[in-house]
Amino acid sequence: MDLNFTPEEEAFRQEVRDFFAENLPDDIRDAVKNGGELTKEIMERYHAILNKKGWLATTWPKEFGGPGWGPVERHIFDEESCAAYAPRIVPFGLGMLGPVLQKFGSKEQQDYYLPRILNGDDWWCQGYSEPGAGSDLASLKTRAVKDGDEWVINGQKTWTTLGQHADWIFCLVRTDPDVKQQEGISFILVDMSTPGVEVRPIKLIEGGHEVNEVFFTDVRVPLKNLVGEENKGWTIAKYLLTHERTGIAGVGFSMLELEEVKALSKKIMRNGKPLAEDPLFAARVAQAEIDLEAMKLTNLRMLFTAQKNGSPGPETSILKIKGTVINQELKDLRRRALGPNAAPFPGSLSGSNLDVAPEGHANNAARYFNNRKTSIFGGSNEIQRNILTKTMLGL
Amino acid sequence: MNFDLTEDRQMLQDSLRRYLGDKYQIEHRNKVAYAEPFHDPAKWGELTELGALFALAPEDAGGMGGAGFDISVVFEELGRVLCPEPVLGALMASRLMTAAGADQEALLSGETRYAVGLGELDAPYDLSGLSTTVKDGKVSGRKSVVYGGQAADVFLIAAKDGDSLSVYEVQASDASVTGYAMMDGAGAAEVVLEDAPAKLLLADADAAIEDAVNAGVVALCSEAVGAMDVLHKMTVEYLGQRKQFGRPIGTFQVLQHRAVDMLTEIEQSRSIVIKAAAELGGPDATRYASMAKNLIGRAGRLVAEEAIQMHGGIAMTWEYPGSHYAKRIIMIDAQLGDTDYHLSRVAQVA
Ligand SMILES: Cc1cc2nc3c(=O)[nH]c(=O)nc-3n(C[C@H](O)[C@H](O)[C@H](O)COP(=O)(O)OP(=O)(O)OC[C@H]3O[C@@H](n4cnc5c(N)ncnc54)[C@H](O)[C@@H]3O)c2cc1C
């Protein structure tokens, strides 16, 4: 048993830390710290900074232009980027489609799309979920029919994160309705500017716009936009779901949240004393810290297994469940710390000098509500438990 | 023993439910709750015509009720539709004015809107740390997140007066009022007073303020029960309708049991609110009000979070009514003392 990183790993950590200290622009850092909007411009600029260093596609091997990192280096990078208040890399092209193309795509697709992802030429979004197909993704209905040298697509996707910025969407579509559900699905790439594609915004609980509905009406795309084999899309979807699951605990983000909560509770005064001295609030923070401390190790243990075995196992569902719950608890503490001062609608006091919350905390309630999504998407925590029941308990 | 409403209260409940169900449908509610003036002045008038405010004050103060159960009936109905009208301010002001023996005809008729400024930035719950002061009949200080303050004609302001608290009446026109929408809809305001002309309503007002807060707590808890009940029904209905894996998700036992846990907590909530309402105005009012607010804070979080989770993505949207219920239920915890604050009060007064 040895809980220390190797000297090489520590050196790498320092290198990453220095890189962020020198290269992360203040405005981007502030936007992350204050929960401001991470605009398309910000994200593209941030991606370009990482790309210049060769650190953008953290999961890609060297041959495709990635840094060729293993799980431990990725983990260190994630931790340090969080600690520096860098944004989360937009995952759709880099974390999702990239690995899919590397494993299932044709040489031509790899040569065309991968560099464009790295260079930020194409913004991708994920077209999996449909109004009737959420947890039960395999029941999806969006139809693609072959017509000459084109696919003709009709149907609807929903919950499409940042689809409003996207140039391309990768979709799971039904190409054979007459076989077992999982066996009639294909993975197809669609240029969002194709006639018949329509994006409509969905407003979220806290008022933000980050997800969309995407409608397809007789959308024609070339046959060569199929990735992998026809009707083998489910294999790709499953590959994606198990790929790079070691980061899903979001430990780096939670560590940052914990620090924020602690700092906030020292700033907030309650009748002449800092909130941090309120025993009940302090106990809540301590409880969260204990859970997070254990989670750090649980995360590292699974990372270690992944490093050893070459791939993460099904137990990573534990990371998703507990990681989201801990992060949600910390978001709750952030909101709770402000008491009634968390209640003003974000931005409703901007322009006045009557702030009710310390800088960076005016939208703590909004963050809390928005964050409820994390236990729903990416396979809900109930679905993760179903997976664990089967894989770990054998029941 | 009898847990039925009296005939009068039943009539009040029926008429409010009919009116609000008809006039405060969620689309309308969301429209007015997030746009200036963050409530609907016309509906305020109609609501007061129905006697909603008269029910909040006792007969000798010109009202027709004023007991804990009257307050409960009114606020549970407001909670069921997430009504953004500034009724809480009226209730708390009425309690203070009753204690002062002041004429409250204009309040109860709805003609004059009152808001009560108690909490401050650094003293949101416990009022022993207030820094608003009075000098030569003029009040200075800042009251933070004053619910209904954006729409108030008159403020009742708690201020430090030597060793005790006093309540002063300040005209909105004599204060600097910055109104805004709340995360969960409806409005509030930052109220800044700089030597604002003020009329003393109550000196040595600690006990009266405590009573007003207790009444406000009973109101908020009742509102939460109304909102939780609606959100729970909505969730159960959705579990029955939404199909995944070829069957209603309500057939998954894990969701069934959690919906039952929600129900259990709502029943517990209802019970503690009945107790707090029964004790309001009596010697143990504070203890039971605090018990209620603590329990409702815990139950509310469970109900709101589980409702969202069990709906899946749909409850994360603005368009789905359930999301607004969840927001209101969560944010109620931060009004007039959260679950921790009230827990410590129960521990102290035990
Ligand atoms: C903010 C946000 C962003 C998203 N971004 C994207 C995106 O970019 N691209 C994309 O394709 N999708 C995206 N999603 C969709 C997301 O993956 C789905 O919301 C998720 O799969 C759940 O599906 P659902 O919302 O239809 O809920 P449902 O599947 O209807 O589930 C409702 C409830 O039932 C439970 N449940 C379902 N089946 C079972 C079972 N067998 N046993 C026990 N409980 C069960 C669920 O856990 C949940 O609690 C996003 C969602 C959100 C909220």
Rg, Å, chain B Cα set: 20
Determine the pLDDT at residue A303: 87
Quick one: fold of B114-204?
A: Butyryl-CoA Dehydrogenase, subunit A; domain 2 (2.40.110)
Q: Are A57 and A64 in contact (CB under 8 A)?
A: yes
Nearest by CB: B181 against A281, A338, A345: A345
> How far is Cα A300 from Cα B313, in angstroms, rounded to an integer?
30
- Please tell me the least confidently modeled range out of A310-324, B137-151, B156-170: A310-324
| Domain B7-108 of CATH type 1.10.540.10 | yes
Burial A215-241 (b: 16+ CB within 10 A, else e): bbeebebeeebbbbebbbbbbbbeebe
- Output the CA B313–ligand 1 centroid distance in Å: 6
Please state the rounded mean pLDDT for residues B140-159. Answer: 98
Determine the pLDDT at residue A229: 98
Is the pLDDT assigned to residue B270 strictly greater than 60? yes
- Output the CA B340–ligand 1 centroid distance in Å: 33
Please state the rounded mean pLDDT for residues B248-266. Answer: 98
Determine the pLDDT at residue A254: 96
Determine the pLDDT at residue A58: 95
CB-based contacts of A1, cutoff 8 Å, min separation 6: none
Q: Dump pLDDT digits (tens) for A190-243.
A: 999 999 999 999 999 999 999 999 999 999 999 999 999 999 999 999 998 777
Q: Which of B132, B180, B325 to mutate to test the interface with A (most CBs of A within 10 A)?
A: B180
pTM beyond 0.95, yes or no: yes
Q: Dump pLDDT digits (tens) for A275-308.
A: 999 999 999 999 999 999 999 999 999 988 888 8
Q: Helix count (H) and strand count (E) of chain B?
A: 11, 10
Active-site position among A73, A244, A260, A329: A244
> How far is Cα B27 from Cα B16, in angstroms, rounded to an integer?
18
Determine the pLDDT at residue B149: 98
Q: Does B327 touch chain A (CB under 8 A)?
A: yes
Is the pLDDT assigned to residue B348 strictly greater than 70? yes
Task: Based on the residue annotation, tell me whether A260 is a catalytic residue of this protein.
Answer: no
Domains of chain A with bracketed CATH = 7-89 (no CATH), 124-231 (2.40.110.10), 249-391 (1.20.140.10)
State the pLDDT confidence band at A311, using cuts at 50, 70 and 90. confident
Determine the pLDDT at residue B349: 64
Residue nearest atom 31 of ligand 1, based on CA coordinates: B312
Is the pLDDT assigned to residue A244 strictly greater than 70? no
Show the beta-strand stretches assigned E in B162-262: 164-171, 176-181, 187-197, 199-202, 243-244, 247-248
Q: Does B188 touch chain A (CB under 8 A)?
A: yes
In chain B, what percentage of residues exceed pLDDT 70?
99
Residue nearest atom 12 of ligand 1, based on CA coordinates: A129
Q: Dump pLDDT digits (tens) for A367-377.
A: 999 999 999 99
Determine the pLDDT at residue A246: 62
pLDDT mean across residues, chain B: 97
**Boundaries of CATH 1.10.540.10 in chain B?**
7-108
Residue A65: phi, psi to the nearest 5? 100, 10
Is A376 in Cβ contact with B312 (below 8 Å)?
A: yes
**Boundaries of CATH 2.40.110.10 in chain B?**
114-204
**Boundaries of CATH 1.20.140.10 in chain B?**
207-349
Cβ atoms within 10 Å of A68's Cβ, excluding its own:
14
Is A345 in Cβ contact with B180 (below 8 Å)?
A: yes
Minimal CA–CA distance to A146: which of A217, A211, A220?
A: A220
Cα angle value B304/B229/B267 (rounded, 5°): 95
Determine the pLDDT at residue A350: 77
> How far is Cα A33 from Cα A334, in angstroms, rounded to an integer?
13
Show the beta-strand stretches assigned E in A175-231: 185-191, 197-203, 209-222, 226-227
pLDDT mean across residues, chain A: 95
Instruction: For ligand 1, say whether the CB of B292 is within 6 Å of any of its atoms.
Output: no
Quick one: fold of B207-349?
A: Butyryl-CoA Dehydrogenase, subunit A; domain 3 (1.20.140)
Please determine, for the modelled complex, whether the ipTM score is greater than 0.85.
Answer: yes
Nearest by CB: A134 against B244, B254, B323: B244
State the pLDDT confidence band at A245, using cuts at 50, 70 and 90. low
Q: Does B122 touch chain A (CB under 8 A)?
A: yes
Please state the rounded mean pLDDT for residues B113-122. Answer: 96
Is the pLDDT assigned to residue A84 strictly greater than 60? yes
Determine the pLDDT at residue B350: 57
Q: A199 by DSSP, 3-state: which? A: strand
Q: Are A153 and A216 in contact (CB under 8 A)?
A: yes
Q: Does A129 touch chain B (CB under 8 A)?
A: yes
> How far is Cα B228 from Cα A153, in angstroms, rounded to an integer?
42
Residue B53: phi, psi to the nearest 5? -80, -35
